[in-house]
Structure 1
Amino acid sequence: MFKKKAIVTFLQAQVAAFLGGITDYGLMILLTEVFKLHFTFSILISGTVGAIINFSINRFWVFKNQCGYSSRINSQLFKFALVVLGSISLKSSGTFILQKAFQIDYRIGRLITDSFVSYGFNYPLIKYWVFKTNQKQDIIKSN
Protein backbone atom coordinates (compact mmCIF):
# COMPACT_ATOMS: atom_id res chain seq x y z
CA MET A 1 0.00 0.00 0.00
CA PHE A 2 1.33 3.40 -0.96
CA LYS A 3 1.67 6.11 1.61
CA LYS A 4 0.05 9.45 0.87
CA LYS A 5 3.46 11.16 0.85
CA ALA A 6 4.78 8.73 -1.78
CA ILE A 7 1.78 9.37 -4.04
CA VAL A 8 2.11 13.15 -3.64
CA THR A 9 5.85 12.94 -4.39
CA PHE A 10 5.18 10.83 -7.48
CA LEU A 11 2.56 13.28 -8.77
CA GLN A 12 4.80 16.28 -8.08
CA ALA A 13 7.63 14.56 -9.99
CA GLN A 14 5.26 14.07 -12.92
CA VAL A 15 4.45 17.79 -12.89
CA ALA A 16 8.20 18.56 -12.91
CA ALA A 17 8.75 16.15 -15.80
CA PHE A 18 5.80 17.59 -17.72
CA LEU A 19 6.98 21.19 -17.29
CA GLY A 20 10.52 20.27 -18.31
CA GLY A 21 9.20 18.25 -21.26
CA ILE A 22 6.79 20.88 -22.53
CA THR A 23 9.54 23.49 -22.29
CA ASP A 24 11.90 21.19 -24.17
CA TYR A 25 9.41 20.49 -26.95
CA GLY A 26 8.17 24.07 -27.31
CA LEU A 27 11.65 25.54 -27.33
CA MET A 28 12.79 22.95 -29.88
CA ILE A 29 10.02 24.04 -32.25
CA LEU A 30 10.68 27.75 -31.62
CA LEU A 31 14.42 27.44 -32.27
CA THR A 32 13.91 25.29 -35.37
CA GLU A 33 10.94 27.03 -36.99
CA VAL A 34 11.43 30.66 -35.97
CA PHE A 35 15.19 30.98 -35.50
CA LYS A 36 15.97 28.45 -38.26
CA LEU A 37 18.48 26.42 -36.24
CA HIS A 38 19.05 22.87 -37.41
CA PHE A 39 16.82 20.61 -35.32
CA THR A 40 19.83 18.78 -33.85
CA PHE A 41 21.09 22.04 -32.30
CA SER A 42 17.56 22.92 -31.22
CA ILE A 43 17.21 19.57 -29.46
CA LEU A 44 20.52 20.01 -27.68
CA ILE A 45 19.60 23.50 -26.45
CA SER A 46 15.98 22.75 -25.62
CA GLY A 47 16.84 19.47 -23.91
CA THR A 48 19.36 21.26 -21.73
CA VAL A 49 16.85 23.96 -20.76
CA GLY A 50 14.15 21.35 -20.11
CA ALA A 51 16.53 19.32 -17.94
CA ILE A 52 17.50 22.42 -15.92
CA ILE A 53 13.82 23.20 -15.30
CA ASN A 54 13.09 19.59 -14.36
CA PHE A 55 16.11 19.44 -12.02
CA SER A 56 15.23 22.74 -10.34
CA ILE A 57 11.59 21.82 -9.74
CA ASN A 58 12.58 18.38 -8.44
CA ARG A 59 15.25 19.80 -6.13
CA PHE A 60 13.32 22.71 -4.63
CA TRP A 61 9.73 21.52 -4.73
CA VAL A 62 9.36 17.78 -5.21
CA PHE A 63 12.19 16.48 -3.04
CA LYS A 64 12.89 19.71 -1.08
CA ASN A 65 16.49 18.66 -0.82
CA GLN A 66 17.97 21.96 0.27
CA CYS A 67 19.83 20.85 3.40
CA GLY A 68 23.53 21.30 2.83
CA TYR A 69 22.74 22.11 -0.78
CA SER A 70 26.01 23.88 -1.54
CA SER A 71 27.99 20.69 -1.08
CA ARG A 72 25.37 18.29 -2.44
CA ILE A 73 24.21 20.19 -5.52
CA ASN A 74 27.31 19.26 -7.53
CA SER A 75 26.74 15.58 -6.80
CA GLN A 76 23.04 15.89 -7.60
CA LEU A 77 23.73 17.73 -10.86
CA PHE A 78 26.26 15.11 -11.93
CA LYS A 79 23.89 12.25 -11.14
CA PHE A 80 21.00 14.05 -12.84
CA ALA A 81 23.11 14.59 -15.97
CA LEU A 82 23.86 10.85 -16.06
CA VAL A 83 20.15 10.05 -15.75
CA VAL A 84 19.36 12.48 -18.59
CA LEU A 85 22.02 10.91 -20.81
CA GLY A 86 20.68 7.43 -20.05
CA SER A 87 17.13 8.58 -20.63
CA ILE A 88 17.94 10.10 -24.01
CA SER A 89 19.76 6.92 -25.04
CA LEU A 90 16.88 4.67 -23.99
CA LYS A 91 14.25 6.89 -25.64
CA SER A 92 16.18 7.08 -28.89
CA SER A 93 16.88 3.33 -28.96
CA GLY A 94 13.35 2.36 -27.98
CA THR A 95 11.77 4.62 -30.57
CA PHE A 96 14.12 3.32 -33.26
CA ILE A 97 13.41 -0.33 -32.37
CA LEU A 98 9.62 0.18 -32.35
CA GLN A 99 9.79 1.95 -35.71
CA LYS A 100 12.13 -0.52 -37.42
CA ALA A 101 10.95 -3.81 -35.91
CA PHE A 102 7.22 -3.12 -35.66
CA GLN A 103 6.70 -0.29 -38.19
CA ILE A 104 5.20 1.93 -35.47
CA ASP A 105 5.18 5.61 -36.43
CA TYR A 106 8.11 7.28 -34.68
CA ARG A 107 5.83 9.82 -32.94
CA ILE A 108 3.75 7.07 -31.37
CA GLY A 109 6.84 4.97 -30.69
CA ARG A 110 8.38 7.93 -28.88
CA LEU A 111 5.29 8.32 -26.67
CA ILE A 112 5.30 4.60 -25.82
CA THR A 113 9.03 4.59 -25.12
CA ASP A 114 8.83 7.82 -23.10
CA SER A 115 6.18 6.29 -20.83
CA PHE A 116 8.34 3.29 -19.97
CA VAL A 117 11.54 5.32 -19.60
CA SER A 118 9.91 8.05 -17.51
CA TYR A 119 8.26 5.71 -15.01
CA GLY A 120 10.70 2.80 -15.07
CA PHE A 121 14.03 4.62 -15.37
CA ASN A 122 13.89 8.37 -14.73
CA TYR A 123 11.58 8.53 -11.73
CA PRO A 124 13.20 5.74 -9.68
CA LEU A 125 16.71 7.02 -10.35
CA ILE A 126 15.80 10.63 -9.62
CA LYS A 127 13.99 9.72 -6.42
CA TYR A 128 16.30 7.03 -5.01
CA TRP A 129 19.68 8.10 -6.39
CA VAL A 130 19.81 11.76 -7.43
CA PHE A 131 17.74 13.20 -4.57
CA LYS A 132 18.22 10.43 -2.03
CA THR A 133 17.91 11.73 1.51
CA ASN A 134 19.37 9.97 4.45
CA GLN A 135 16.97 8.52 6.98
CA LYS A 136 18.31 10.64 9.87
CA GLN A 137 17.48 13.87 8.01
CA ASP A 138 13.95 12.60 7.32
CA ILE A 139 13.42 11.72 11.00
CA ILE A 140 14.72 15.11 12.15
CA LYS A 141 12.47 16.94 9.66
CA SER A 142 9.38 15.01 10.77
CA ASN A 143 9.93 15.77 14.48
Structure 2
Amino acid sequence: MTFSRAQVSAGAGSVVDYGLMVLARQLLGWPLFWAVALGGVVGAGINFSLNRYWTFTAGSGTHDYSNAFLLQLTKFVLTVVGSILLKYLGTYLLERHLGIDYKIGKLISDLFVSVLFNYPMQRYWVFRKTPS
Protein backbone atom coordinates (compact mmCIF):
# COMPACT_ATOMS: atom_id res chain seq x y z
CA MET A 1 0.00 0.00 0.00
CA THR A 2 2.82 2.45 0.87
CA PHE A 3 4.55 1.91 -2.47
CA SER A 4 1.27 2.55 -4.34
CA ARG A 5 0.63 5.73 -2.37
CA ALA A 6 4.19 6.84 -3.01
CA GLN A 7 3.67 6.41 -6.74
CA VAL A 8 0.43 8.44 -6.65
CA SER A 9 2.24 11.15 -4.69
CA ALA A 10 5.19 11.08 -7.07
CA GLY A 11 2.78 11.22 -10.01
CA ALA A 12 1.08 14.35 -8.67
CA GLY A 13 4.44 16.06 -8.18
CA SER A 14 5.66 14.83 -11.56
CA VAL A 15 2.73 16.32 -13.47
CA VAL A 16 3.56 19.75 -12.05
CA ASP A 17 7.31 19.13 -12.46
CA TYR A 18 6.97 18.13 -16.11
CA GLY A 19 4.54 20.92 -16.98
CA LEU A 20 6.76 23.61 -15.50
CA MET A 21 9.84 22.16 -17.19
CA VAL A 22 8.20 22.27 -20.61
CA LEU A 23 6.79 25.75 -19.96
CA ALA A 24 10.17 27.11 -18.86
CA ARG A 25 12.01 25.45 -21.75
CA GLN A 26 9.55 25.99 -24.60
CA LEU A 27 7.91 29.32 -23.74
CA LEU A 28 10.60 31.03 -21.70
CA GLY A 29 13.61 29.55 -23.48
CA TRP A 30 15.38 28.53 -20.27
CA PRO A 31 18.37 26.18 -20.43
CA LEU A 32 17.51 22.55 -19.74
CA PHE A 33 19.16 22.48 -16.30
CA TRP A 34 17.15 25.43 -14.95
CA ALA A 35 13.91 24.18 -16.48
CA VAL A 36 14.43 20.77 -14.85
CA ALA A 37 15.39 22.45 -11.55
CA LEU A 38 12.30 24.70 -11.49
CA GLY A 39 9.94 21.80 -12.14
CA GLY A 40 11.79 19.62 -9.67
CA VAL A 41 11.61 22.12 -6.82
CA VAL A 42 7.90 22.90 -7.21
CA GLY A 43 7.00 19.24 -7.80
CA ALA A 44 9.03 18.31 -4.73
CA GLY A 45 6.99 20.65 -2.55
CA ILE A 46 3.82 18.86 -3.59
CA ASN A 47 5.49 15.48 -3.14
CA PHE A 48 6.80 16.32 0.36
CA SER A 49 3.37 17.41 1.58
CA LEU A 50 1.61 14.34 0.21
CA ASN A 51 4.27 11.98 1.51
CA ARG A 52 4.38 13.46 5.00
CA TYR A 53 0.65 13.60 5.56
CA TRP A 54 -0.69 10.75 3.43
CA THR A 55 1.80 8.31 1.86
CA PHE A 56 3.88 7.28 4.85
CA THR A 57 1.15 7.32 7.49
CA ALA A 58 0.46 3.66 6.63
CA GLY A 59 -3.26 4.35 6.59
CA SER A 60 -3.28 5.11 10.30
CA GLY A 61 -3.34 8.86 9.88
CA THR A 62 -0.66 9.10 12.57
CA HIS A 63 2.77 10.56 12.06
CA ASP A 64 5.04 8.36 14.15
CA TYR A 65 8.18 9.54 12.42
CA SER A 66 11.58 9.00 13.94
CA ASN A 67 12.63 12.58 13.26
CA ALA A 68 11.13 16.05 13.61
CA PHE A 69 9.69 18.14 10.81
CA LEU A 70 12.79 20.32 10.22
CA LEU A 71 15.12 17.35 10.13
CA GLN A 72 12.70 15.57 7.82
CA LEU A 73 12.53 18.64 5.56
CA THR A 74 16.33 18.89 5.49
CA LYS A 75 16.66 15.23 4.53
CA PHE A 76 13.98 15.69 1.89
CA VAL A 77 15.76 18.72 0.40
CA LEU A 78 19.00 16.73 0.18
CA THR A 79 17.12 13.91 -1.52
CA VAL A 80 15.50 16.35 -3.95
CA VAL A 81 18.87 17.88 -4.86
CA GLY A 82 20.16 14.39 -5.67
CA SER A 83 16.97 13.61 -7.57
CA ILE A 84 17.12 16.78 -9.66
CA LEU A 85 20.76 16.16 -10.53
CA LEU A 86 20.07 12.55 -11.52
CA LYS A 87 17.02 13.53 -13.59
CA TYR A 88 18.93 16.29 -15.34
CA LEU A 89 21.90 14.03 -16.02
CA GLY A 90 19.65 11.29 -17.40
CA THR A 91 17.67 13.72 -19.55
CA TYR A 92 20.83 15.39 -20.84
CA LEU A 93 22.60 12.12 -21.64
CA LEU A 94 19.57 10.66 -23.41
CA GLU A 95 19.20 13.82 -25.50
CA ARG A 96 22.89 14.42 -26.17
CA HIS A 97 24.08 10.87 -26.82
CA LEU A 98 20.99 9.00 -28.00
CA GLY A 99 19.13 11.85 -29.72
CA ILE A 100 16.02 11.39 -27.58
CA ASP A 101 13.95 14.57 -27.27
CA TYR A 102 14.32 16.07 -23.79
CA LYS A 103 10.58 15.76 -23.14
CA ILE A 104 10.74 11.97 -23.63
CA GLY A 105 14.14 11.68 -21.95
CA LYS A 106 12.80 13.44 -18.86
CA LEU A 107 9.95 10.93 -18.59
CA ILE A 108 12.39 8.04 -18.86
CA SER A 109 14.75 9.57 -16.31
CA ASP A 110 11.86 10.35 -13.94
CA LEU A 111 10.70 6.75 -13.98
CA PHE A 112 14.07 5.33 -13.04
CA VAL A 113 14.96 8.01 -10.49
CA SER A 114 11.54 7.83 -8.85
CA VAL A 115 11.59 4.08 -8.30
CA LEU A 116 15.30 3.43 -7.74
CA PHE A 117 16.34 6.56 -5.82
CA ASN A 118 13.46 8.70 -4.54
CA TYR A 119 11.26 5.97 -3.10
CA PRO A 120 14.01 4.18 -1.12
CA MET A 121 15.45 7.47 0.16
CA GLN A 122 12.07 8.76 1.29
CA ARG A 123 10.81 5.47 2.70
CA TYR A 124 13.91 4.48 4.65
CA TRP A 125 15.61 7.80 5.40
CA VAL A 126 13.35 10.86 5.16
CA PHE A 127 10.04 9.41 6.41
CA ARG A 128 11.42 6.57 8.55
CA LYS A 129 8.99 5.43 11.23
CA THR A 130 9.82 5.06 14.89
CA PRO A 131 10.13 1.32 15.67
CA SER A 132 7.11 -0.04 17.54
Partner of 1:67: 64
Contact 2:40-2:80 at 8 Å conserved across structures: no
Instruction: Give the match for residue 52 of structure 1.
Output: 45
Q: Distance in 2 between matches of 1:125 and 1:114?
A: 15
Aligned length: 126
TM-score where L is the length of structure 2:
0.78
Give me the whole-angstrom Cα distance separating, in 1, the residues matched to 2:54 and 2:45: 14
The alignment partner of 2:11 has SS state of: helix
Picking from 108, 113, 119, the partner of 2:115 is 119
Distance 1:28 1:96, change over 3 A: closer
Bigger relative contact order (CA 8 A; separation at least 6): 2
Structure number with the higher helix fraction is 1
| Structure 1 residues not aligned, in runs of 5+ | 1-7, 137-143
Q: Partners of 2:36 and 2:72 in 1: how far apart?
A: 23
Pairs within 5 Å for 1:123-134: 123-134=119-130
Structure 1 residues 36-72: Cα deviation after superposition (integer angstroms, max 9, x where no partner): 7664677655533321111011011111262379x61
- For residues 74 and 30 of structure 1, the distance between their equivalents in structure 2, rounded to whole angstroms, comes to 31
Label 1:117 to 1:28 Cα distance change in 2 as closer, same or farther (>3 A): closer
Cα RMSD for the two superposed structures = 2.7
**Percentage identity across paired residues of the two chains:** 47
In the aligned structure 2, how far is the partner of 1:10 from the partner of 1:117? 15
Contact 2:9 2:47 in 1 (8 A): yes
For residue 103 of structure 1, what is the amino acid of its counterpart? G
Change (3 A) 1:92 1:58: same
The answer for the alignment partner of 1:5 in structure 2 is none
SS in 1 for 2:129: coil
Unaligned runs of 5+ in 2: none
